[in-house]
Structure 1
């Protein structure tokens, strides 16, 4: 399958492509035969050449030999460094014809276009789930193998996704780089900020299938579901009152112990619950994030809004003593 020409180049008899060294030709031949003799002993993935395996191993070892001379950021692969260098340039010459978003490379544009076309060319062999890019597939496969190739250098905890390792490392650094533009509260992870923002936007993506009541957080929905059950397995040892969750019992116990772990940074007032403290802080900032949908009047806490809404409903549960 090989031929040696007068220019000392080794040529493939299938496609005509030529190399100077026979070892390169031998590796190339596996493109046609499908042979992958080099396999990773960590994850079992197979490769056509030893160099490909060597580069892949960096996923597991964390080795990043390529460094940016501008900012010092390091990368496992040269292609990653080359793409990163574009960050230091404002030019985005590749534009999406659907949404107008600009990209610094044609590859990034190609991957982005899959959001519009729905194309997911990388499929998991275990569950059939599709992905728009190969690295997302590789990280997903860790959920099936149980493999956690990204390890924290400080505590040894392993992660299936590199992005999750980066988020975890904020725990050790103490940094809170994600700040809320509404209240200034800082968070260690973008996901934490996203969930917090629902306090300001009023978004409630989780709905009860029994009564249609909606919640901003999944944990709230899970606690609410117990409302439809009469079981109260958590009992206060002081007064015998029962609760549907250990968290509710823990908060209740503070009525007996006097514990107020949440303290206002402005006036020093203590609270048994974090949400009570957050609403109290509005009295200092003047913020009124709870607005009446009918008249637009704003309130610093949700309980005042609920009381106000009875005005529109014609409900007066507490009649004036002058009218009795």
Structure 2
């Protein structure tokens, strides 16, 4: 080994030694920083483990666990855990609204209220759900939404054990046990547990319903009610059952549906002991013991046990048909009628006869068809004493009533099927073809000598 090679080796060793020293110094610096960071936050919460640099910060944090609210409003008595929240609340009583919207001029008492309002103009939804990608205008709305994915309900009621996703939900719930109704109507003095309930009540006095549906003209006192209503027109059903996959327009409907899987029926009748999934179902059932029909139609005087039955009935007088078909724009009074109608577009026939395989669009048609196999004739005619499988058609033979009228010639018919058959005389339509002889017919294929009884397995009875 010459002198130059020896110098290179010594130089490499020197560089390696320097690198090791630098690494050791860096590790010491990191340890020092960690120690300093720990020393900077000497106050540790025994409940959640969170650390704080100052005693005052630690003391404020502890209020989240103790529920202490030392700042009380002299005007309304409402208490707050933080001084900043108290100051914001005081501005409501003072009528101060220093923050103004540059677009519409509306004023707000808090800066964050203005920021939330601005999203109505910009359409901005900066807070996105990482699970499903849905956007929200406010962080607290995202927080509520996230609990739908996680199922987390950390706030529990000490009285009944019911759990809630948000502390505010628990606070509202507690008023059921305490009987507290802090929101009072200035007109009649009636108290309410929640501000939104008071707002709904106030619309009864003022008649104010500022949120208008552009599709059907119906008005609502709350924006959330309009949002729920719009799903009738759009067909949106965002609330899905995790067990069977069935979707619903309203969260309340999903909640009721879930009891089908759990068999939960918490509402019992004091008279007969029968149980129900919903409180309003129980209230309706109780009227069967009293024959009470508290909801009367102001137009014709007909009475109903339930308010929703009266609402549906009123559409007969008003002509309102809020359920629109997105394909042909035909309107319906009931959602179930729209659901049945949609099958005329989709061709769906979900009800099948287990005996012959014939399929139907409606369950009622399948039920009638089944009587052709069983021979059942449950309807007894009081006029002639004969029994029939279909009550309505036979009764018309005695009354001479013909409610189904041809729009072309004005001729009347006792049943819808007779009218449909008659209409083919005007249209010449013969949509049913015999597979054996190729002859066409206006209704389902009749007996054909060449092939025997017609195969009407796809005809809707």
Please, what TM-score do these two structures have when normalized by structure 1? 0.55
Whether the aligned pair in 1 keeps the contact of 2:239 and 2:250 (CA below 8 Å) is: yes
1:215-294 pair list within 5 angstroms = 215=388, 216-222=390-396
Tell me which structure has the larger Cα radius of gyration.
2
Task: Kindly state the Cα deviation for residue 60 of structure 1 after the two structures are TM-superposed.
Answer: 5.0
Mapped pair 1:204 → 2:379: yes
Note the C-alpha offset of 1:70. 3.5
Mark the CA change 1:194 to 1:128 in structure 2 (over 3 Å): closer, same or farther.
Answer: farther
How far did residue 99 of structure 1 move? Answer: 6.9
CA distance in structure 1 between the partners assigned to 2:251 and 2:273 by the alignment: 29
Could you tell me which residue of structure 2 aligns to residue 141 of structure 1? Answer: 314
Structure 2: distance between partners of 1:27 and 1:203: 52
Deviations for 1:268-287, whole angstroms, at most 9, x for unmatched residues? Answer: 9x99996976xx86xxxxxx
How far the C-alpha of 1:97 sits from its partner, in A, is 6.6
Deviation at 1:174, TM superposition (A): 3.1
By how many angstroms is 1:82 displaced?
1.2
Query: Residues 34 and 221 of structure 1: is their aligned pair in 2 closer, same or farther, counting only changes over 3 Å?
Result: same
Contact 2:378 2:387 (C-alpha < 8 Å) held by counterparts: no
Tell whether the 8 Å contact from 1:40 to 1:46 is kept in structure 2 after alignment. Answer: yes
Q: Identify unmatched segments of 5+ residues in structure 1.
A: 227-243, 252-258, 282-324
Per chain length, whose mean CA-contact separation is higher, i.e. which structure has more relative contact order (CA < 8 Å, sep 6+)? 1
Q: Pick the aligned partner of 1:36 from 194, 200, 207.
A: 207
Report the alpha carbon displacement of residue 192 of structure 1 after superposing the two structures with TM: 1.4
Q: Do the aligned partners of residues 110 and 15 (structure 1) sit closer, same or farther apart at CA in structure 2, a change above 3 Å counting? A: closer
TM-score computed with the length of structure 2 as normaliser:
0.41
RMSD after superposition: 4.9
Aligned to 2:79: 7
Q: Structure 2 unaligned segments of length 5 or more: list them.
A: 1-74, 81-88, 90-181, 401-417, 454-461
Question: Deviations along 1:149-206, whole A, 9 cap, x unmatched?
Answer: 1122333322111111112223333333333456553321022123334443113356
Equivalent residue for 1:67? 240
By how many angstroms is 1:100 displaced? Answer: 6.6
Q: In 2 relative to 1, CA 262–76 (structure 1 residues): closer, same or farther, beyond 3 Å?
A: same
Aligned to 1:201, what secondary structure does the other structure show? coil
Counterpart for residue 199 of structure 2: 27
Separation in 2 of the partners of 1:217 and 1:276? 25
- Paired with 1:97 and 1:131, the residues of 2 have a C-alpha distance of 22
Mapping 1:174-193, distance limit 5 Å: 174-180=347-353, 184-193=357-366
Determine which structure has the larger helix proportion and give its number: 2
